[in-house]
Amino acid sequence: MERSIDTMQPVISAENISLTFQTADGPVHALKNVSLTINQGDFVSFIGPSGCGKTTFLRAIAALETPTAGTLSVAGMTPDQARRRRAYGYVFQAPGLYPWRTIAGNISLPLEIMGFARPDRQQRIARVLDLVDLAGFGGKYPWQLSGGMQQRASIARALAFDADILLMDEPFGALDEIVRDRLNEALLDLWKKTGKTIGFVTHSIPEAVYLSTKIVVMSPRPGRITRVIDSPLPRDRPLEIRDTPEFIALAQQVREGLREGHSYD
Amino acid sequence: MTEAVARGNGGVNPTLRALPILTVLLAIVVVWYGAAVWMNAPWVRDQAARAETTLTTGDLIRQTLTLERPVLPAPHQVAAGLWEGIAGQKITSKRSLVWHGWVTLSATLAGFAIGTVAGILLAVGIVHNRAMDQSVMPWAVASQTVPILAIAPMVIVVFASMGVTGLLPKAIIAAWLSFFPVLVGMVKGLRTPDAMQLDLMHSWNASRAQQFWRLRLPSSLPYLFASLKVAIAAALVGTIVGELPAGATAGLGARLLSGSYYGQTVQIWSALFAAAILAAVLVMLIGALERLTLRRMGLAR
Ligand SMILES: Nc1ncnc2c1ncn2[C@@H]1O[C@H](COP(=O)(O)OP(=O)(O)OP(=O)(O)O)[C@@H](O)[C@H]1O
Ligand SMILES: [Mg+2]
């Protein structure tokens, strides 16, 4: 599944976008003059202190917010056109599964909404359950599953309809280190198998470095990008890669980027 | 499904749970007997004075509890009246509480159905349409501030002038009272899905109808059931009030009224208790339906 550089097409391109929220206490500049290009098949992590606009940027890509200035295009369309074409699988920090539907029923939900035929639905549900390592849990209800399993189910739901772009906003934020490691591995595996473009928000430097082909460091007030780091790490990444000098150097770079935006002081 | 059992409210011995209820019931009965003696005593003393007989305390108590038209009938008199009204008559008889109860129940259920449908439809409109959101609620609130006792006779008279009597006018009054809790509960319920759930729907490009049937409606059911319990009790009150205006001869309300015309306090209290029992049964039925549905949906709290 190695891709050569020249087949990579830019899918998401942001040019000088700004996004200002008008609030009761005056305008909040969530994003200011942000430019970024994301290629087909990239795994892009967004990292930065709280309030720097990571969520806002992801939501703007998914057409859940509209930039107040600049142009944002997704596969040559506006984000909203891309949304109508069902280009996005969005994963939130909380699983947000319907308690009245089984896991399979939850994964089936977007498929029903998009009008997939029943046999096709069943096939897809089985496939994505397998992909997130939940085969055999389709008939269970969300409350019968652990938090980590629920989060995997919500990822399966986002994968089921084969959106080209997977956007994940701190999907593993609420999970413990060990579960997180496992899910990170599973996510990388899944990314290699499907070749999707992934946008991933995290607060963890090791997580960002481990997963990404591109790490975007942001800083707040106003929200902007301070550094874009292209990862030299290979696409095949065992967990042990985190002990290599390349990995540690990369993590160091990210940490410097964060400090540059005088973030955690 | 052993987990389902573990989540339930099992484990408490039913007789133990009934104990507090029985205690309260006993206290009420005791107080009631006391009040009956106390309130009926003046009349009994009066009678005795007129007949120039003297009463022992025992006589006084016995007589206060067995009057034919007591100011306050004793519990056993009401119980006997109830039993007589329910079991002592053919159920087609005009003196049967079953028959009167059925007249009231049918209008209550019809009004409840109308009110529930109206409440849900208005709530759907309010949640989906900005103009309705801003305009309907004040009117709905206003409708409930008008005393039902003033509205009811007008409704009855207007319908009667059009030649419509019986169930429908009473059902309208019942619906008038019962749509409101459903409306308030459903507006709240249809708005419970959080921003994340709605964003997900949006990212899947779901239509409003899909959003409604698959997300808003199921999430609103706990609220719907809570308001249905209020609504059915309100519908019963509305129906009984609708039976009070002159001319009504059927229904628990008419029974109350004719009892008060003729000073038949036992009849009044029997009708009152019949209404209370009816209300309790209806609310319990909805409660059972609620538990069943919400448990099946994994929404039970
Ligand atoms: N709907 C909104 N209305 C007003 N202000 C908002 C809204 N959403 C976000 N903001 C503001 O925009 C800024 C960026 O918020 P955003 O949620 O994108 O930050 P974030 O980087 O995701 O932070 P975190 O790491 O805490 O999730 C913050 O100052 C926030 O208060
Ligand atoms: Mg965020």
- Structure confidence by residue, pLDDT tens digits, B131-183: 988 888 889 988 888 888 888 888 888 988 998 888 899 999 999 999 999 99
Q: What is the pLDDT of residue B59?
A: 86
pLDDT tens-digit readout, A118-154: 999 999 999 989 888 899 999 999 999 988 899 999 9
Instruction: Judge: B204–A86 Cβ closer than 8 Å, yes or no.
Output: yes
**Same domain as B123, residue B57:** no
Instruction: Judge: A141–B298 Cβ closer than 8 Å, yes or no.
Output: yes
Tokens of A261: 């935006």
Q: What is the residue whose two structure tokens read 């006779």? A: B153
Q: What is the pLDDT of residue B231?
A: 96
Sign of CA dihedral A63, A69, A74, A80: positive
Q: What is the residue whose two structure tokens read 């960002």? A: A208
Q: What is the pLDDT of residue B216?
A: 94
Say if A221 falls within a structural domain.
yes
**Burial (CB count <10 Å: 0-12, 13-18, 19+), residue A80:** middle
Q: What predicted TM-score, i.e. pTM, was given to this entire model? A: 0.82
pLDDT tens track of chain A, all 265 residues? 444 444 568 889 999 999 999 989 888 888 999 999 999 999 999 999 988 999 999 999 999 999 999 899 998 899 999 899 888 999 998 899 999 999 999 999 999 999 999 999 999 999 989 888 899 999 999 999 988 899 999 999 998 998 889 999 998 887 788 878 888 888 898 888 888 899 999 999 999 999 999 999 999 888 889 989 998 888 888 888 888 988 899 999 899 888 877 644 4
**Same domain as B234, residue B200:** yes
Residue of B nearest to A63 (CA): B203
**Same domain as A148, residue A127:** yes
Contacts of B80 (CB under 8 A, 6+ apart): B266
Split into its structural domains, chain B has a count of 2
How many other CB atoms sit within 10 Å of the CB of residue A39? 18
Contacts of A46 (CB under 8 A, 6+ apart): A54, A57, A58, A199, A200, A201, A202, A216, A218
Contact call for residues B100 and B288 (beta carbons, < 8 A): no
* Residues having CB within 6 Å of any atom of ligand 1: A 21, 23, 28, 30, 50-56, 223
Angstrom distances, CA of residue B155 to CA of B109, B143, B243: 18, 14, 11
**Same domain as A61, residue A130:** no
State which of A112, A134, A162 marks the end of a domain. Answer: A162
**Same domain as B141, residue B230:** yes
Q: Which residues of A touch B (CB under 8 A)?
A: 59, 62-64, 83-84, 86, 88-90, 92, 94, 96, 98-100, 109-110, 112-114, 141-144, 161
Mean pLDDT of chain B: 88
Split into its structural domains, chain A has a count of 2
Contact call for residues A48 and A261 (beta carbons, < 8 A): yes
Bridge pairing between strands A88-91 and A10-23: unpaired
Please give the Cα distance from B94 to B100 (Å, whole number): 7
What is the 8-class DSSP label of residue A13? E
Contact call for residues A229 and A42 (beta carbons, < 8 A): no
Say if B19 falls within a structural domain.
yes
Strand order in the sheet with A214-219: A88-91, A165-169, A197-201, A43-47, A214-219, A224-230
Instruction: Judge: A100–B299 Cβ closer than 8 Å, yes or no.
Output: yes
**Residue A219, H or E segment:** strand A214-219
**Same domain as A102, residue A220:** no
Q: What is the pLDDT of residue B6?
A: 45
* Torsion on CA atoms A190, A88, A213, A14, rounded to nearest 10: 180
**Same domain as A180, residue A233:** yes
Question: How many Å lie between the alpha carbon of A103 and the closest alpha carbon of chain B?
Answer: 13
State which of B72, B89, B121 marks the end of a domain. Answer: B72
A-B contacts (CB, under 8 Å): 51
Please give the Cα distance from B136 to B125 (Å, whole number): 9
Contact call for residues A174 and A147 (beta carbons, < 8 A): yes
Counting ligands in written order, the one closest to the CA of A219 is: 1
**Same domain as A71, residue A120:** no
**Same domain as B140, residue B279:** yes
Q: What is the pLDDT of residue B226?
A: 94
Q: What is the residue whose two structure tokens read 């003046």? A: B42
Q: Whose CA is nearest to atom 29 of ligand 1?
A: A51
CATH classification at residue A197:
3.40.50.300
**Same domain as A202, residue A189:** yes
Tell me which residue of B155, B181, B150 sits closest to B167, measured CA to CA.
Answer: B155
Give me the domain span that covers residue A66.
46-87+164-265
Tell me which residue of B233, B223, B213, B218 sits closest to B283, measured CA to CA.
Answer: B233
Tokens of B110: 């019809």
ipTM summary value:
0.86
Q: What is the pLDDT of residue B53?
A: 84
Q: What is the pLDDT of residue A221?
A: 84
Between B200, B214, B296, which is nearest A90 by CB?
B200
Low-confidence residues in chain B, pLDDT < 70: 1-12, 246-247, 300-301
Say if A35 falls within a structural domain.
no
Per DSSP, the three-state class of A14 is: strand
How many other CB atoms sit within 10 Å of the CB of residue A53? 26
State which of A108, A129, A162 marks the end of a domain. Answer: A162
Q: How far is the CA of A31 from the centre of ligand 1 (A)?
A: 9
Say if B23 falls within a structural domain.
yes
Say if B159 falls within a structural domain.
yes
Please give the Cα distance from A198 to A196 (Å, whole number): 6
State which of B39, B72, B105 marks the end of a domain. Answer: B72
Give me the domain span that covers residue B236.
97-297
